[in-house]
Amino acid sequence: MNLHRLTGLAAAASLMASAAWAAPMPGPIHQKYNWRHVTITAGGFIPGIEFSPCKPGLMYCRTDMGGLYRWSATKSRWIPLTDWVGQKDWTYLGGESIAPDPVDPHRVYAAVGMYTGPNMPDGAILRSNNEGRTWKITPMPFRMGGNNDGRSIGERLDIDPYDPSVLYFGSRLNGLWRSHDYGAHWSQVRSFPVNGAQPGGAGIGFVVFGGGGVPELNHPSNSIYVGVSQVGRGLYHSANGGKTWQRIAGQPEDLLPQHASLASNGELYVTFANGIGPNGVTGGAVWKYDTVNGTWTDITPVKPGVGGNSQFGYAGLSVDPRNPNLLVVSTLDRWNPGDDIFRSTNGGKTWSSMRQHATMDAAITPYLKWGNPEPSFGWWTGCVAMNPFNPNEVLYGTGATIWGTTEAQRAGTQKPIKFTVWAAGIEETAVICLLSPPQGAHLFSGLGDIGGFKHNNFNRSPQHGMCSNPIFNNTTGIDVAWKKPSILVRVGTGKQGQNGAISVDGGTKWKPFATQPPNTRGGGSVAITANGSAILWSSYGSPPWLSFNRGASWTACSGLPAGAEPVADRLDASVLYALDRRTGDVYISRNSGRSFTPVGSVSAQNDKLVASFASAGHLWAASRSGGLFHSTDYGRTFVRIRAVNSAISVACGHHAPGLVNPAIFIVGTVDGVDGVFRSDNEGKTWVRVSDKAHRYGNCGEALAADPRVYGRVYLGTNGRGIPFGEIAK
């Protein structure tokens, strides 16, 4: 283990200007950790589910910001396939498309990249010959949008069943692309008529091979269908292997295609909507195209806006490969009476609702009830998949989970169809904040979209979360009165204008603040003094406000800039701190928040300020640009921890055996190596506790260490839930 000495000056600004760097030292050693997840189960949008057409029990799913998964039939759970993605390649956790090989069950491909914005990195094609256990990467010369609008359109990536070395990919901004060597190299199909970004569209949404090849000779398909996700563009066809293309006549002109599937009898089924989704869709239809005689037939199950239905579209589509007349489709953005799956056994002449007699079993994810007696059928139903080896098994993705049934044949019989949550193993929440208190539950989470939870049992999705009284969409701040840990506070963006709450029983029951500060829009951060007497809430866009009566009334505190983030001293109940992240300035109050004065400064682009629970006045500050800083005098001076090049976040955990000072964890870079690190001696030496298989993309914005369990650290990710690590025994 290498020794890294603390170095610094009394004032951070002076330190930053004058500190001299010694010669680079060897990177930190690695300590073996066991990593697993705090179980929430799903919690985010599932835009794509794909069964293997050649191996029973094998299927894959893609998430919009949490990576890729493979279903394990033996374990009845999903296995994550992209946890190796690190900070530099974080956009690879955006699943733009996924395609299992139609001939070789071991091969699978994926297109990855999260956003198409101008400052985003380019995407990549991942290819695997062992069901995603390991991947080879082909960087692509354009951006992808796994978390952009239109992400449930697809699949953009497809493999020619007549020559599996040939793949096509429809990009959002750069036209149609083709590979002739199993995805290793790609070139643009210049003959395709749409080669750039289309206003209001999502580029090329799907590719479907239509046949005409000779598999014994590895002769690729002559017939290829391509869908352009823009009204007025739509479906194109090539009859000569992509040499020339024609727009198909007779298709709906006021809608854009979402999904397509070619049945074994040569009929092409297509779902349409008037927007790319998953929001803002107000029209849609289902049509089938006879590829032999070139005629279209409208087979829409229920017309949007008719018979009390709201306006909506159609998206998901799956056809039985052995029975061309058996298919299922999903609605999209049908908010009244709710999204549905429609099933037809006669090629779309008649349809049966699967929602009408559905029973929804959310036992493994109670939060899906949202305080209601039963969970809903779901929303944002952008994909549906029928098992090609058992058409009675149907799965569909929603904005929060995967539902599945093995009783699809009951549709139209008036018998109940049981749906269960089919998402075990998927952890897709975006974590905003984490808290590990000194007693009671070991962890509280603040999440995007689904509020957050009190985690009593890491192996089960919580029975009761913080998503009631009031319901929060996003929990942006949570804190505990360290010396009276039965008292907790949380803030976020709630419903009916209730954006803050307090608990006095360790987070089991919550009560909304009776009032909110003037002009408060919710969100922000919160701190509560060590004895629970004062709450300081810094809401978005407004100066911090103070309450001495548990939120019954609020008064402005003096001396703080708008947006300053409050932090409570864990032992001194009269002391509160605040950090201005724009400047790195630290403020202190010694009168429980009534007034603040500037006390010290760390650096610009500061991310986190944390108070140690071991000694009053001890602070740790994490900075992306400056590294890690430590103060032992209530923030007057900060010492820079020399070995730390960059720190996204910092947390204090239980001390090592025989020591007194808490273990310090960071997500950042130490001696040029990035990862998750622990120091047992206040930053003198470090060990890396993450490894190449457990990197979790863009992680560390939220971080907590357990004050009661030495070595345990909780990692907040942006789409991969809450991994936690413990020292391997």
End-to-end CA gap in the chain: 20
Structure confidence at residue 15 (pLDDT): 26
Residue 720 contacts residue 93 (beta carbons within 8 Å): yes
What is residue 526's three-state secondary structure? strand
Q: What are the residues facing 48 on neighbouring strands?
A: 62
Structure confidence at residue 217 (pLDDT): 64
Q: Are residues 567 and 659 in the same domain?
A: yes
Instruction: Give the CB-side neighbour count of residue 194, counting CA atoms within 13 A.
Output: 26
Q: Is the pLDDT of residue 309 over 80?
A: no
Q: Are residues 106 and 197 in the same domain?
A: yes
Query: Residues 467-474: what's their mean pLDDT?
Result: 83
What is residue 126's three-state secondary structure? strand
End-of-domain residue from the set 288, 316, 351: 351
Q: Judge whether 246 lies within some domain.
A: yes
Is residue 522 very low, low, confident or very high in pLDDT (cuts 50, 70, 90)? confident
Query: Residues 662-689: what's their mean pLDDT?
Result: 97
Q: How many domains does the chain have?
A: 2
Q: Are residues 154 and 26 in the same domain?
A: no
End-of-domain residue from the set 334, 351, 368: 351
Q: Is the pLDDT of residue 22 over 60?
A: no
Q: Judge whether 681 lies within some domain.
A: yes
Q: Are residues 30 and 94 in the same domain?
A: no
Query: Residues 381-393: what's their mean pLDDT?
Result: 98
Instruction: Tell me the pLDDT of the chain averaged across its residues.
Output: 92
Q: Is the pLDDT of residue 51 over 50?
A: yes
Q: Are residues 145 and 237 in the same domain?
A: yes
Q: Is the pLDDT of residue 11 over 60?
A: no
Our CA angle for 165, 171, 175, nearest 5°, is 95
Q: Are residues 213 and 341 in the same domain?
A: yes
User: Is the pTM value of this prediction over 0.95?
Assistant: no
Structure confidence at residue 571 (pLDDT): 98
Structure confidence at residue 3 (pLDDT): 32
| Rounded Cα distance, 40 and 587, in Å | 37
Provide, for the chain, the percentages of residues in helix, strand and coil under a 3-state DSSP scheme, each rounded to the nearest 5: 5, 40, 55
CATH number at residue 662: 2.130.10.10
Domain that holds residue 675: 6-34+430-727
Q: Is the pLDDT of residue 23 over 60?
A: no
Q: Judge whether 359 lies within some domain.
A: no
Q: Per-residue pLDDT tens for 594-638?
A: 999 999 998 766 779 999 999 999 999 999 989 999 999 999 999
Q: Are residues 95 and 19 in the same domain?
A: no
The least confident of 72-76, 139-143, 198-202, 646-650 is 198-202
Q: Are residues 677 and 573 in the same domain?
A: yes
- Comparing CA positions, the residue from 383, 310, 344 lying closest to residue 156 is 383
Is residue 465 very low, low, confident or very high in pLDDT (cuts 50, 70, 90)? low
Sign of the CA dihedral running 294, 272, 237, 264: negative
Is residue 518 very low, low, confident or very high in pLDDT (cuts 50, 70, 90)? confident
What is residue 226's three-state secondary structure? strand
Q: Which two tokens stand for residue 657?
A: 């055996």
End-of-domain residue from the set 301, 328, 351: 351
Instruction: Give the CB-side neighbour count of residue 318, counting CA atoms within 13 A.
Output: 29
Q: Judge whether 135 lies within some domain.
A: yes
Is residue 7 very low, low, confident or very high in pLDDT (cuts 50, 70, 90)? very low
Q: Is the pLDDT of residue 453 over 90?
A: yes
| Rounded Cα distance, 422 and 169, in Å | 29
Q: Are residues 147 and 235 in the same domain?
A: yes
Q: Per-residue pLDDT tens for 314-369?
A: 999 999 999 999 999 999 999 988 999 999 999 999 999 999 999 999 999 999 98
| Rounded Cα distance, 454 and 72, in Å | 29
Q: Which residue has the tokens 């975006």?
A: 430
Q: What backbone torsions phi and psi does residue 584 show, to the nearest 5 degrees?
A: 85, 5
The least confident of 141-145, 273-277, 698-702 is 698-702
Q: Is the pLDDT of residue 6 over 70?
A: no
Query: Residues 266-293: what's their mean pLDDT?
Result: 96
Q: Are residues 550 and 656 in the same domain?
A: yes
Q: What are the residues facing 653 on neighbouring strands?
A: 663
Q: Active-site residue numbers?
A: 64, 449
Q: Are residues 709 and 571 in the same domain?
A: yes
Structure confidence at residue 26 (pLDDT): 55
Q: Judge whether 379 lies within some domain.
A: no
The least confident of 2-6, 534-538, 678-682 is 2-6
Structure confidence at residue 201 (pLDDT): 81
Q: Are residues 29 and 94 in the same domain?
A: no
Q: Judge whether 47 lies within some domain.
A: no
Q: How far is CA 342 from CA 194, 247, 268, 353, in A?
A: 32, 29, 17, 5
Structure confidence at residue 58 (pLDDT): 98
| Rounded Cα distance, 566 and 107, in Å | 51
Q: Per-residue pLDDT tens for 236-278?
A: 999 999 999 999 999 999 999 999 999 999 999 999 999 999 9
Our CA angle for 386, 390, 396, nearest 5°, is 25
Q: What percent of the chain has pLDDT over 90?
A: 85
Q: Judge whether 59 lies within some domain.
A: no
| Rounded Cα distance, 156 and 108, in Å | 14
Sign of the CA dihedral running 538, 544, 549, 551: negative
**Total residue count of the chain as it appears in this document:** 729
Q: Per-residue pLDDT tens for 704-720?
A: 999 999 999 999 999 99
Structure confidence at residue 355 (pLDDT): 97
Q: Judge whether 658 lies within some domain.
A: yes
Query: Residues 152-171: what's their mean pLDDT?
Result: 97
Q: Per-residue pLDDT tens for 177-227?
A: 999 999 999 999 999 999 877 777 899 999 999 977 666 667 899 999 999
Query: Residues 388-402: what's their mean pLDDT?
Result: 98
Q: How far is CA 129 from CA 172, 182, 310, in A?
A: 26, 10, 45
Sign of the CA dihedral running 694, 697, 700, 706: negative
